[in-house]
Amino acid sequence: MLIKNAKLRGKQGLWQILIQNGSFVEIAEQIAGNEEDVLDAGGKLVIPPYVEPHIHLDCVFTAGEPRWNESGTLFEGIELWAERKKMITIDDVKKRAKKAIQLQISQGIQFVRSHVDTTDPELTALKALLEVKKEVQEFVDLQLVAFPQEGILSFPRGSELLEQAVKLGADVVGAIPHYEFTREYGVESVKIAVALAEKYGKLVDIHCDEIDDPSSRFLETVAAEAQRLGLKERVSASHTTAMHSYNNPYAHKLFRLLQLAAINIISCPTENIHLQGRFDTFPKRRGMTRVKELVQSNINVAIAQDSIMDPWYPLGTNHPLRELDMCIHVCQMMGYGEIIRSLDLVTENGAKALRVEHEYGIEPGKPANLLILDAEDEFDAIRNLSCVLYSIRKGKVILKRIPAQTDMQRIS
């Protein structure tokens, strides 16, 4: 396949991309090659696929079951899910997860990290999603996080179930320290998760400080453990919304540790601003982590959806640019250069967090995974929340979209 008239990030003019045997072979302004299999990008922006670094596929499309979350709080969501998960089956999870993955494919997502609740003695959701992982590999790379939704030490056999999930095939080890019964349990839960990851050679992704409480400071423990054990980029901390409420001197100290530890931060804009600030009257905090300041400090930050119609978040389209649009508004990242660079938050930064950067990007020798957006550049794409015209995976077109046509009289 030869793609012509492609706009590429950071490059002037139009480019051609040669794909052979599922890999990028050459990228140049002019390529002499087979004219039979040609795709004209028409001057549109070509980028690597979107990355979804934080979703809960076991929970998707369960909003309102057994009832709706009326308080809009994280804690009511967890309580509702504790009731709903008693009803899950392998088929139930697989059907809902595949529906969500189909939606993700339609949005140009090819790399996904899903958290899976392990506070279930049967580990039903994990077993289901391990099957799904194999069944969708032609379309997406799916990582699974062993996630103890109700705690490691605060749930019966929580630690045992977590290790069992890792042995079954989870790629990543998780924790939720701010939900444990005590601060001491929270600190110990982080150490348990990180130690398990080191023992089995896994990645780490901790639900961390997803609360407005400025005294919730488990992120420092996550970073310190990552630094101590040399895990560094293998470790991610998701949410970290309490950082919004930290005093600035403490945040300054914390940023130094985050830089030394080289861990990733994953923020979920729409869900975070929906769930946080629920105990405020006015002024109401925005409830998002300090994305702008983290980026300025060269700490890797990725943006995620988190939920699609579940007990925590009743909406959700998994459109990466919608999440990014919310992020740059709430975090006041609206300078022209900031807008252009922000596309990294839903592409290459997510790839770094998932540790798939060695196979990610439009470069000779890498798998031929790319998107053609209905946009001329990054600014155009973000401003218009542009759709994906083509999604190509390993040289094969897995999505083709024809934009809607509109007939409208022009104002004279």
Q: Which amino acid is at 207?
A: H
DSSP H or E run through 15: strand 15-20
Q: Is the pLDDT assigned to residue 117 strictly greater than 80?
A: yes
pLDDT confidence of residue 403 = 86
DSSP secondary structure letters along 56-125? -TTTTT-TTSS---SS--HHHHHHHHHHHGGG--HHHHHHHHHHHHHHHHHTTEEEEEEEEE--STT-HH
Q: Is the pLDDT assigned to residue 405 strictly greater than 90?
A: no
Average pLDDT over residues 118-145: 99
Instruction: Decide: 276 and 316 in contact? Cβ < 8 Å.
Output: no
For the chain, the average pLDDT equals 98
Q: Is the pLDDT assigned to residue 33 strictly greater than 90?
A: no
Q: What is the CATH number of domain 2-48+362-400?
A: 2.30.40.10
pLDDT confidence of residue 263 = 98
Q: pLDDT for 327-354, tens place per residue?
A: 999 999 999 999 999 999 999 999 999 9
Average pLDDT over residues 115-130: 98
Q: Which amino acid is at 121?
A: P
Average pLDDT over residues 96-115: 99
**pTM for the full predicted model:** 0.97
In sequence order, the β-bridge partners of residue 18 are: 2, 26
Domain ranges of the chain: 2-48+362-400, 50-359
Q: pLDDT for 185-236, tens place per residue?
A: 999 999 999 999 999 999 999 999 999 999 999 999 999 999 999 999 999 9
Q: pLDDT for 386-395, tens place per residue?
A: 999 999 999 9
Average pLDDT over residues 130-146: 99
Q: pLDDT for 300-313, tens place per residue?
A: 999 999 999 999 99
pLDDT confidence of residue 97 = 99
Q: Is the pLDDT assigned to residue 165 strictly greater than 80?
A: yes
Query: Who has greater pLDDT, 36 or 42?
Result: 42
Short-list 194, 280, 269, CA closest to 239: 269
Does residue 210 carry a catalytic annotation? yes
pLDDT bin (cut points 50, 70, 90) of residue 120 is very high
pLDDT confidence of residue 412 = 86
Structure tokens at 206: 């901790």
Q: Is the pLDDT assigned to residue 362 strictly greater than 80?
A: yes
pLDDT confidence of residue 32 = 86
| Residue where the block lists tokens 């919004």 | 244
pLDDT bin (cut points 50, 70, 90) of residue 15 is very high
Q: What is the CATH number of domain 50-359?
A: 3.20.20.140
Q: Is the pLDDT assigned to residue 374 strictly greater than 90?
A: yes
pLDDT confidence of residue 191 = 99
Largest pairwise CA distance in the chain: 72
pLDDT confidence of residue 404 = 85
Proportion of the chain above pLDDT 90, given as a percent: 97
pLDDT bin (cut points 50, 70, 90) of residue 23 is very high
- The active-site residue out of 150, 210, 271, 348 is 210
Q: Is the pLDDT assigned to residue 34 strictly greater than 80?
A: no
